[in-house]
A and B are shown apart, each in its own frame.
Chain A
Amino acid sequence: MALKDVEVKKKMNQFLYTVVLLAFSLPIITGFSLLILSSFSNEMVTNFDFLKTFLTLQNWKLLFQGRIALTGGLRENILLYAFNTLIVALGVAVLTTFVGTISGYAISRMNFKGRKILLIMMLLLHALPGSVLIVGVYFLYRVSMPTNYQFIRYFSFFYVIIARAALEVPFSVWLMKGFFDMLPWEVEWSAIVDGASRWKVWYRIMLPLIKPGVVAVLIFGFLAGWQDIIYVRTFLIDKTLATFIESNLETEVAYMPLLAAAATFYLLPTVLFYVFSQQLLFKVYAGGIRR
């Protein structure tokens, strides 16, 4: 009887959790649903003018044709913007992960002067919003980076990637330090006694063991780069999807359902990543080590 009692209670809890979670996520779900629905409609669903509204694929067709309005000859290369966004996102992801894993390892495993101060400074940097730092970053770039007008268009990608990655680095270093802290010293010692240098220990033994952590940092970095708007707007000559949508929202010719399609397109990687990486983030690589 006691067992049944517990089970009933558990079900009650389950129900409660579901209700609370739904209540929290309802506004978000509604918002996204309206956006996606609008992208397939001739008019924004948010107008609530359901008599005139019907479903259509017109917006998506126009989007990929590069036309941003129903009429007129305004053309924009949406695929190029997507490509630009991808470059920024991948750049931020790779740079963040590289710096994060390597400094996370050093901070977790090596004893050097200023280690504690470095960790605290990182936390402080993480606490500052990126928009506050942008003036300083701009100033630094103006005085220290080459400004060749021929290459600035391509060079500006580095501007964005480095600045944006710098904002993600503190978090990734902390996360990676946590992962490295979990690994037993014996495995590392074993590799060193086997003849490996610290570099080899790092990439042949330690990194494969914290794969889920590395992938998590990669994904966080990618999403940060993909979602960024202020750094892209400030430093990038070209447009990304974010700046494209933002700049078109304000124009007189703005055709909202088409922008809804662009926004939905822009949202896709984020959704996909969360769906596919959820399981991975929970997984912890273990086995062969007894503690």
Chain B
Amino acid sequence: MARIVLENISKRFGKFTALDEISLQIEDGEFLVLLGPSGSGKTTLMYLIAGIYKPTVGRVFFDDLEVTKISPKDRNVGLVFQNWALYPHMKVYDNIAFPLTLKKMSKIHIDQKVRQVASMLKIDALLDRYPWQLSGGQQQRVAIARALVKEPKVLLFDEPLSNLDALLRLNVRAEIKRLQKDLQITSIYVTHDQAEALAIADRIAIINNGKLVQLGTPEEVYNNPEHTFVASFLGNPPMNLLNALLQKENEEISLRIDELQIQITERLCERLKNLSEVIVGFRPEHVELTDMPTDGVINIPAEIYTVEPMGREVFITVVVSGRIVKTICSQAERFSYKQKVFLKIKEENLLFFDPASGSRV
């Protein structure tokens, strides 16, 4: 168990910059998720912590010990790979025992530990099978058992669920979270699946193009995205983002989306007065669809585009002056194609971003 500190980490492969000045602190026993699209550098960052890659610039600390130049074999980290990387020529028992045999432990001691970890992960019945005789979920457990058996300071998961089918993924996800809470091992989990990240994390670090975009608890990053990237990456469907012009007429500011003009209150005017353009963001679940405009909230005229029943809720796509907006409604409501509606949004649910930098206003 350890606190991990990344100090100004940059990693370049030739001319390509994979990671750009990332500083991050992961508390002892914390479950941190590195979230980002593929190619964003999140796996590279995890390999840097494992020691497989070495940073071009910057330092890595486990507790107060600098490990930047220490070989991965001496870092005592457990790593669960995306493809699990089990040793195909070894039985499950030997796979799990492998890290211990390298430590020159006594056979009895090894046996004891292997069986203990195996029973914790409920794979004790599979110990003398080969990896190819196991299902995906079982192989996954073996990989986790092998990572856990050496009692690592840090546990690293590299998209461990992406090779499992959808239903199994939900189960294993919950189990990994529970396991981490029981063992209190500092864990880092890499994924590109925002739902997985929100579900499992104590804190989420969102990475894009090798840069740390935002770091925070799932609630923070979901409710208060500091960047359009975060807003458009989290949530299913993600936040609606509309470009708008700010129209100023004698101290009063209104939003203009093409032909559409939306009046905003004075409190907002104060924040937006220095801008001429803005990106307006709002979550699909914060929109209500009504037939008539309502007083006291923002009303945007729209036309129904598609209706997608998802079981518990209904995804409704509407068109606002030629632009697609996603909303979520309860099952009870009925809408038909091309029906004219109004989007009803409370002003406090609107987020504003600077179109030039993408960051929050």
A186 interface hit (Cβ, 8 Å): yes
A197 and B88 in contact (CB under 8 A), knowing A186-B82, A288-B130? no
State whether B88 touches A189 (Cβ < 8 A). no
Question: Which residues from 180 to 202 on chain A have a C-beta closer than 8 Å to any C-beta of chain B?
Answer: 184, 186-187, 189-197, 200
What residues of chain A lie closer than 8 Å to B47, measured between beta carbons? Answer: 189
A190 and B130 in contact (CB under 8 A), knowing A195-B99, A196-B102? no
A285 interface hit (Cβ, 8 Å): yes
A287 and B87 in contact (CB under 8 A), knowing A189-B81, A192-B73? no
Tell me how far the C-beta of B235 lies from the nearest C-beta in chain A, rounded to whole angstroms: 30
Contact of A205 among B71, B83, B87 (CB under 8 A): B87
Chain A interface residue number, banded: 20 to 34
Contact of B98 among A191, A197, A285 (CB under 8 A): A191
Contact of A184 among B50, B85, B103 (CB under 8 A): B85
Contact of A209 among B81, B88, B130 (CB under 8 A): B88
State whether A288 touches B81 (Cβ < 8 A). no
What residues of chain A lie closer than 8 Å to B139, measured between beta carbons? Answer: 288
A186 and B81 in contact (CB under 8 A), knowing A192-B73, A289-B88? yes
State whether B150 touches A287 (Cβ < 8 A). no
State whether B87 touches A187 (Cβ < 8 A). yes
Tell me how far the C-beta of B194 lies from the nearest C-beta in chain A, rounded to whole angstroms: 24
Name which of B85, B89, B102 has the most chain A CB atoms within 10 A of its CB. Answer: B85
State whether A288 touches B163 (Cβ < 8 A). no
State whether A191 touches B77 (Cβ < 8 A). no
State whether B83 touches A184 (Cβ < 8 A). yes
State whether A289 touches B98 (Cβ < 8 A). no
State whether B98 touches A194 (Cβ < 8 A). yes
Name which of A187, A195, A197, A208 has the most chain B CB atoms within 10 A of its CB. Answer: A195
Tell me how far the C-beta of A23 lies from the nearest C-beta in chain B, rounded to whole angstroms: 42
Contact of A193 among B50, B103, B130, B163 (CB under 8 A): B50
Interface string of A137-160 (1 = CB under 8 A from B): 000000000000000000000000
Contact of B73 among A196, A204, A285, A288 (CB under 8 A): A196
Contact of B52 among A189, A195, A208, A211 (CB under 8 A): A189
Question: Which residues from 250 to 291 on chain A have a C-beta closer than 8 Å to any C-beta of chain B?
Answer: 285-291
What residues of chain B lie closer than 8 Å to A205, measured between beta carbons? Answer: 87
CA distance A209 to B130 in the complex (A): 13
B222 interface hit (Cβ, 8 Å): no
Tell me how far the C-beta of B162 lies from the nearest C-beta in chain A, rounded to whole angstroms: 10
CA distance A291 to B162 in the complex (A): 12
Tell me how far the C-beta of B272 lies from the nearest C-beta in chain A, rounded to whole angstroms: 49
Name which of A187, A197, A288 has the most chain B CB atoms within 10 A of its CB. Answer: A288
B137 interface hit (Cβ, 8 Å): no
Question: Which residues from 254 to 271 on chain B have a C-beta closer than 8 Å to any C-beta of chain A?
Answer: none
State whether B72 touches A285 (Cβ < 8 A). no
A287 and B85 in contact (CB under 8 A), knowing A192-B72, A197-B73? no
Tell me how far the C-beta of B103 lies from the nearest C-beta in chain A, rounded to whole angstroms: 7
State whether B87 touches A290 (Cβ < 8 A). no
State whether B150 touches A195 (Cβ < 8 A). yes
Tell me how far the C-beta of B28 lies from the nearest C-beta in chain A, rounded to whole angstroms: 21
B131 interface hit (Cβ, 8 Å): yes
Tell me how far the C-beta of B165 lies from the nearest C-beta in chain A, rounded to whole angstroms: 13
Tell me how far the C-beta of B85 lies from the nearest C-beta in chain A, rounded to whole angstroms: 4
B207 interface hit (Cβ, 8 Å): no
State whether B86 touches A193 (Cβ < 8 A). no
Tell me how far the C-beta of B178 lies from the nearest C-beta in chain A, rounded to whole angstroms: 24
CA distance A290 to B159 in the complex (A): 14
Tell me the A residues contacting B by CB distance below 8 Å.
Answer: 184, 186-187, 189-197, 200, 204-205, 208-209, 211, 285-291
Counting from the closest, the 8 A-B pairs by CB-CB distance are A287-B132, A288-B131, A288-B88, A186-B85, A190-B85, A194-B99, A208-B89, A195-B102
